[in-house]
Structure 1
């Protein structure tokens, strides 16, 4: 388990909960708009041990409701289930952030009741997925992503959200029509405008205009009952 970062308290990462956010290192994408690009390498040294994290969570049980596990891509870590088991023993709700490339791990976590909420990133329309992830079409495990989407669309006993970081240079109205058709049957979809920072690999990207965001929201509402805009 390689833990690359920790936010001790957040009101944003687990909707409706006061939570801590744990960032696991290593990712199989290289998204040019990633805010956690320092976590992409798989061989970096962890900043915290699991024991240190569990000790901190033990001390903060009176403050926190839940724990969000993000990354990087958390499902790449083989010992993720055991780490979550230890967190659950402390009485926490657990939310997982994922890019959906490991449906086997995702299915196991759901079946073992190790997670209470999932947020899966939908990077773009199917046709533009690889470019938005910063990898080649040949390197994109798209069948796995499709499997994760179907798994989550058919999971009814957890909080599930699909979400897209919207970037002016990458997304257009036709993409959101395509995404809406793809996610038909999902109950919740979130649009998040891109925010620039020094850690983003590709500089000079821009957030969409708010009027465009509202239009994308309206397009997606033709397919998904709950479409919200977060982070404006």
Structure 2
């Protein structure tokens, strides 16, 4: 998925989180993070930087936002600055960070985009300090939630069940590199104050799933959404269920040496 083709221009607006929702995620991250402060954090697949400054504020920094797509990273550098945040070019399979340099790694809706997951897990284990944790906010094909927009775009769910890995596969991938599963938490987030606001965001087609849908599927979906919107009284917020998988690197284990350094 090349986010520099179209997604970079709509991502920040289409995937913006409400203030209370950001606070909910920050609390969840803190609940599962190592207890010491400050923490060095890797925001892997940081995109337009919607969480990087939040992580710096909550954990004291430094935060390294690693993003492979140039235009997504440029948007973060322009609109999501913080004195303790550094945005770096890199990928999950090639992290521009030294060994054992991070206490916490956040992957927020990133893992399903990673091409070589074996290499990526090895890199995450390399940069993570013993006792460090990985917070993986994702979806899993064997426990896919009923997302609101799937009701108007039924083909989207089938696409996402192909794209997202199974929970057991993810825990096995990380387990092979010495990162054990700690907990899986299901949270519910509010994504829009009402259906009209939700529809406005959807019209930007900010989900990468849209890139796999036909023009006819997209047209029919928005027609169905418009029909429901005409009857909506605008009083109900729109929410969705989310999974947060927490993994931990065993203390004192060996890891591969690297000459990588923070740019």
Q: TM-score, normalised by structure 2?
A: 0.36
Larger Cα Rg: Structure 1 or Structure 2? 2
Higher RCO (C-alpha 8 Å, min separation 6) = 2
State the TM-score, normalized to the length of structure 1. Answer: 0.39
> Whose helix fraction is larger, Structure 1's or Structure 2's?
2
